Amino acid sequence: AREIRINPSILAADFVNMQTELARIAAADFAHVDVMDNHFVPNLTFGPQMVERIQQTSPIPLDVHLMIEDPDRWAPGYAELGAASVTFHLEAARDPIALARRLRDIGARAGVAVKPGTPASALDELWGEVDQILVMTVEPGFGGQSFMPETMPKLRLLADEAARRGSAVWLQVDGGISASTIAQAAEAGADTFVAGSAVFGADDPGAAIAALRGQAAA
Ligand code: DX5
Ligand code: ZN
């Protein structure tokens, strides 16, 4: 069976009790960390100083998702502080290949994200340069939005292309992933699932993670 990863988004956690919140997702594979700069998206979260403390405190590795302008300048710092993976948006990067290489050189998994309106073909030059591709299943910026099923054909194209190339790239989905939507994303080829409200909004996040894992594998 193929490997399934569940990465809860701490955007849906209580920011002033982050250590307790991280302990509630010990059953997850990675903690997904949404960095927003109020420019690339109309919302603001936190920057390197906060992410570094989360890194020092987290029982699980960090999957950093940068929704920021000028990732060419800022993304390497997140790899240097020890994040397991650093994902930048293709739409914001000046030189995505050079940036991905730099992230890998530092020792992080390199990830590239695409918004719902960005086609699969925009990623043509990045095969072999990245370890994960993040297909946004909502417009980036906020948690709690509805899953966009119209992004599934793009995911399917990328999954087919990965299979054709024998690529080990992880295909990640982010936005509106819940027990009722995760199966369609898995069926279209995703193996790595970000879920914010579906995990942190549950009474028992551990049980929610297990349920998502079950649905994705079904
Ligand atoms: C949205 C963020 C997501 C968000 C997902 O821009 O990238 O990671 O936290 O939240 P849910 O799972 O609630 O849609
Ligand atoms: Zn995210």
Please, what are the averages of pLDDT over each run of 10 residues along the chain (218 residues)? 92 97 98 98 98 97 98 98 98 98 98 98 98 98 98 98 97 98 98 98 98 94
- Which ligand 1 atom sits nearest the alpha carbon of residue 136? 7
Number of domains the chain contains: 1
Cα of 74 from ligand 2 centre, angstroms:
17
Is 34 one of the annotated active-site residues of the chain?
A: yes
What is the predicted pLDDT for the residue at 175? 98
Contacts of 151-158 with C-beta under 8 Å, sequence gap 24+, read 151/116, 152/184, 152/185, 152/188, 153/188, 154/114, 154/119, 154/120, 155/185, 155/188, 155/189, 155/190, 156/188, 156/189, 157/120, 158/120, 158/123, 158/133, 158/189
82 annotated as a binding-site residue: no
What is the predicted pLDDT for the residue at 218? 83
What is the predicted pLDDT for the residue at 1? 60
Nearest to 140 by CA among 192, 65, 76: 65
What is the predicted pLDDT for the residue at 2? 78
Domain with 203, as residue range(s), is 5-217
- In the set 63, 131, 174, 191, the catalytic residue is 174
Is the beta carbon of 79 within 6 A of some atom in ligand 1?
no
What is the predicted pLDDT for the residue at 67? 99
Nearest to 199 by CA among 5, 18, 24: 24
Question: Rounded to an integer, what distance in angstroms lies between the CA atom of residue 105 and that of residue 102?
Answer: 5
Is 70 one of the annotated active-site residues of the chain?
A: no
- Domain CATH for 93: 3.20.20.70
Identify whether the C-beta of residue 36 lies closer than 8 Å to the C-beta of residue 142.
no
What is the predicted pLDDT for the residue at 177? 98
Q: ipTM more than 0.95?
A: yes
